[in-house]
Amino acid sequence: MIDSQSITRTLFEDFRPLAVTLFYGAGIAATGIFLWGIWIQVRKYRRGARYVLDGSLAARFGDMVGSVLSHRTVRRRDHAVGAAHGLVFFGFALLFVGTSTITLEFDVLKPLFGVRFWYGNFYLWFSLVLDVAGVMLTVGLLYMMYRRGWLKPPKLDYARPDRSPTDPDFDRSAYRIEDWTFLWTLMVIGVTGFVLEAARLVWLAARPEVWNFRWWSPAGAVVACGLRSLGVSATAAGQLRTGLWWFHGVLALAFIALIPFTKVKHIFTASASLMLRDPLASQRLPRVPDSQAAPGYQYITDLNWKQLLNLDACTKCGRCHDACPARATGAPLSPRDVILSLREFANKSLASGTLPDKAELDIHGKNAGQVAMETLWSCRTCMACVEICPVAVEHVPIIVQMRRKLVESGDMDPLLTKTLQTIHKTGNSFGESRRKRPAWTKSLPFTIKDARKEPVDVLWFVGDYASFDPRNQKVSQTFATLLRDAGVDFGLLYEAESNAGNDVRRVGEEGLYEVLADSNVKAMSEATFKSVVTTDPHSYNTIRNEYPDFGGRYEIEHYTTLLRVLLAAGRLKPSRPLNYRVTFHDPCHLGRFNKGYEAPREILKLLGCELIEMGRCRANSFCCGAGGGRIWVADPVGVEKPAQNRIREAAAIEGLQVYVVSCPKDLTMFEDALKTTGNEGRFVVRELIELVHEAVAVPADAAVAGA
């Protein structure tokens, strides 16, 4: 009969007191280096600007734990990587908990309170769980190595679109070395753990309490059987165990000590970043505090402490790099490289004991760690990078803050300067007189109410393109007809409406944005209405998410939501199914920004259309290229535009008849791209409003010429 208390593992078995003392000394040194590294990182974050969290810290923590345990952000759009990372994460976590459990008994409970639990059935199940954890870790690491070494996805090559080979920070081979060192270190720790376990089993095979229970450590037992089949004796196994014990232990301690100085720290920074996530990071940009001398970010210390932590949370996975429409079409921008450049800059300038001179903290330029003006102006602020980031890095707010500094200094494209001046002067980006804003309504056979003069149920905020662009004016006339036919009591602000300012703000012209927002809020406060509708997703986003900061809190919906309700209620009745084979483009500001995915698709179904989704749809929709003020700036000649890239994707759909959009800027961008890609005649670009109008029975006297 074997005593259950003998079924255990004696720590430091056959070790001399000096060896034990040396090991504890190494452990204390590793812990000291680890804590010193943590202090260096905390000191760096404290040098950032002030940031105040909103919401419940407990709720944030709970959401973070849910994200980490479910791995939902890592699995998105890359299930294989998510599964492999899950194996590595949970395998490592279980091994860490197991090691901590041993330490708890041996160094705390047993010497202080005489409490023991690491024996018998607990020990056997403990051994089984940790062996399984080690196998999980090894399998996950093998896939990660296979992916980096053989699959070699382009997003992991660290190629920089914003640098040339002659630039000092073009070469990022150090990152590749760090990645492989990380993988191999964990692999060696895991594998040597199995061999160490096997050597102990062979060494102590004469003890029934060890060898008879070997299969509770299945991986170690398999290796042990292999060693015995190779003729390894108990004495040789004991010698192997002693040497390997020190190698394995010292390597593990070095791994712990270096966590704050390597990519391993993402274990902590990524979790913290997820907990501090701003769910409206791009939808609602921050105002410039009254206490701030100048708008925007010029120095690395202008970034707040949360953003400095964001920089360290980046795992270099390349998902934002892969999703960015600017990079995909040849622009000198990779969201990943912006974050890594700023991280390198922060580590160089903020991690030391004393701060450098102010001039050495400037993050604008083309020196190592700085971000070039061309890079910042390439951004479409489409939020694809923020949406896909598995660790909640918020790239767009940082880019916009840096743009604010460029705008303040006048460092921008002359066309953009002219457009901003035009908007400031006329209230719209077309440079037209305010009196002409409602001119499109004059050809309608009915009069639209002026919400400033008589109450309405629905206030329609039209937007610039829907008001002044000739092609979009026809769509506006069609929408007005649909509302009239459905019996909706609606009205306009007429010439009191100004540009909503969404893109002005994302350009970085915060002062002009506040003028526009205040003007529109004032005009809307003088009107009487119950809710707001808009045909422009850009206007929808800023009115919904940003105007509340200016006192404008409204019940607002995009037109697709309203039309879906009118169709479902029978207030608009399709007279025949359209039977078109269509694809739908999700506008960034309706889809990614505000999760408005379902209403347009439900409308297409009600109209009898066959919807074929593009590969990049919904949250992964590909930006048309107009956002962030880019519609006002000419793209370089000879370079593919995002809208052209998107039209080519749609053209691959066999038998496609209609490319459906629900945004005035999308209509402009994609109709142009249809021509320039040579696809004119193969299919057409239509506004969803036009399809609804075509499908419903419209009285002849309400038909709109040309619609």
- Tell me: the pLDDT tens digits for 154-192? 999 999 999 999 998 999 999 999 999 999 999 999 999
Q: Same domain for 402 and 429?
A: no
Q: Is there a domain that residue 174 lies in?
A: yes
State residue 492 phi and psi, 5-degree precision.
-125, 170
Which ranges in 412-469 belong to alpha helices (H)? 414-426, 464-468
Separation between Cα atoms, residue 415 and residue 179, nearest integer Å: 43
Q: What is the pLDDT of residue 701?
A: 40
Residue 49 φ/ψ, nearest 5 degrees: -70, 165
**10 located within any domain:** no
Mean pLDDT of 256-276: 96
**With contact defined as beta carbons under 8 Å apart, do 587 and 659 qualify?**
no
- 482 pLDDT exceeds 80? yes
Q: Which of 206, 275, 273 is nearest to 238 (CA)?
A: 206
Would residue 49 count as lying in a domain? Answer: no
Answer whether residue 44 is part of any domain: no
Task: Report yes or no: 558 and 533 within 8 Å, Cβ to Cβ.
Answer: yes
Q: What is the domain-level CATH number for residue 236?
A: 1.20.950
Query: For position 472, what pLDDT does the model report?
Result: 98
Please tell me the predicted confidence (pLDDT) of residue 320: 97
Pair 603, 659 in one domain: yes
- φ, ψ of residue 299 to 5 degrees: the values are -115, 160
> Same structural domain for residues 512 and 644?
yes
Among residues 573, 527, 520, the alpha carbon closest in space to that of 551 is found at: 520
Measured CA to CA, the distance from residue 23 to residue 443 in angstroms comes to 88
Q: What is the pLDDT of residue 700?
A: 40
- Going across the sheet that includes 581-584, the strands are 610-611, 581-584, 658-661, 684-687
Q: Is 79 exposed, middle or buried (0-12, 13-18, 19+ CB in 10 A)?
A: exposed
φ/ψ of residue 295, rounded to 5: -70, 155
Which residues 6+ apart lie within 8 Å of 85 measured at CB?
71, 74, 140, 144
Torsions phi, psi for 453 (to 5 deg)? -110, -25
What one-character-per-residue DSSP string does 280-308 give? TTTTSPPPPPTT-SSSS--BGGGSBHHHH
Take residue 444 and report the two structure tokens written for it.
């309608």
Residue 308 clears pLDDT 80, i.e. is over it? yes
CA distances from 333 to 137, 142, 165, 343, 521 (A): 35, 32, 16, 16, 35
Residues 209 and 62 in one domain: yes
Share of the chain above pLDDT 70, in %: 98
Question: Alpha-carbon distance 674 to 657, whole Å?
Answer: 13
- Residue 500 and residue 183: Cα distance in Å, rounded? 49
How do beta strands 581-584 and 658-661 pair?
A: parallel
Contact present, 305 and 346 (Cβ < 8 Å): no
Once rounded to an integer, what is the mean pLDDT over residues 105-132?
A: 95
Rounded to an integer, what distance in angstroms lies between the CA atom of residue 636 and that of residue 640? 9
What is the DSSP code string of 148-169?
IIII--GGGS---TT--TTSTT
**Same domain (yes/no): 592, 614:** yes
The C-alpha atoms of residue 493 and residue 509 are separated, in whole angstroms, by 24
Across 291-295, 638-642, 673-677, the highest mean pLDDT is recorded for 673-677
Q: Using only C-alpha atoms, what is the Rg of the chain?
A: 31
Do 117 and 174 belong to one domain?
Answer: yes
Same domain, 506 and 383: no
Residue finishing a domain among 412, 428, 456: 412
Closest Cα partner for 349 from 32, 584, 40, 31? 40
Locus of tokens 């074929």: 612
3-state secondary structure of 11: coil
Q: What is the mean pLDDT of the chain?
A: 95
CA 325, CA 348: separation in Å to the nearest integer? 30
Q: Does residue 530 share a domain with residue 422?
A: yes
| pLDDT given at position 704 | 39
Amino acid at 76: R
Question: Could you tell me the end-to-end alpha-carbon distance of the chain, in angstroms, rounded to an integer?
Answer: 92
Measured distance CA(575)–CA(485) in Å, rounded: 14
Task: Name which of 348, 267, 279 is nearest 308 in CA terms.
Answer: 348
Q: Which among 238, 273, 308 is the end of a domain?
A: 273
Residue 280 placed within a domain: no
Q: Clarify whether residues 480 and 612 are in a common domain.
A: yes
Q: How far apart are CA 122 and CA 220, in angstroms?
A: 18
Quote the number of domains for the chain: 3
Instruction: Report the Cα 24 to chain-centroid distance in Å.
Output: 42
Identify whether the C-beta of residue 169 lies closer than 8 Å to the C-beta of residue 375: no
8 Å CB contact between 138 and 190: yes
Q: Tell me, what DSSP letter sits at residue 105?
A: I
* SS3 category, 686: strand
Per-residue confidence (pLDDT) for residue 415, from 0 to 100: 96
State the pLDDT at residue 175.
Answer: 95
Mean pLDDT across 298-327: 97
Mean predicted confidence (pLDDT) in 115-128: 96
Report the pLDDT value the prediction gives residue 699, as an integer from 0 to 100.
Answer: 44
568 inside domain: yes
Q: What is the CATH number of the domain that holds 292?
A: 1.10.1060
Q: What is the mean pLDDT of residues 510-525?
A: 98
| Same-domain status, 242 and 121 | yes
CB of 649 within 8 A of CB of 616? yes
200-245 pLDDT, tens per residue? Answer: 999 999 999 999 999 999 999 999 999 999 999 999 999 999 999 9
Strand order in 556-558's β-sheet? Answer: 449-450, 490-492, 458-461, 531-534, 556-558
Whether 539 is covered by a domain: the verdict is: yes
Q: Please calculate the CA angle 633-637-641 and round it to the nearest 5 degrees.
A: 65
Backbone angles phi, psi at 64, to 5 degrees: -65, -45
pLDDT value at residue 697: 59
**In this structure, how many other beta carbons lie within 10 angstroms of the beta carbon of residue 157?**
12
243 and 354 co-located in one domain:
no
Lowest mean pLDDT among 256-265, 290-299, 306-315, 665-674: 290-299
CA 378 to chain centre: 18
Q: Is 487 part of any domain?
A: yes
pLDDT of amino acid 702: 40
124 CB burial (10 A radius; 0-12, 13-18, 19+): middle
Q: Are residues 389 and 537 in the same domain?
A: no
Helix pair 173-203, 120-146: axis angle to 10 deg? 150
Q: What pLDDT score was predicted for residue 1?
A: 73
Question: What pLDDT does 637 receive?
Answer: 84
- Write down how long the chain is: 707
Whole domain around residue 204: which residue ranges?
Answer: 57-159+170-273
CA dihedral 656, 662, 663, 669 (to 10 degrees): 0
The domain boundary residue, chosen from 378, 412, 446: 412
Nearest to 361 by CA among 305, 406, 301, 297: 301
Which amino acid is present at 659? Y
> What is residue 606's predicted lDDT score, i.e. its pLDDT?
97
Q: Residue 46, SS3?
A: helix
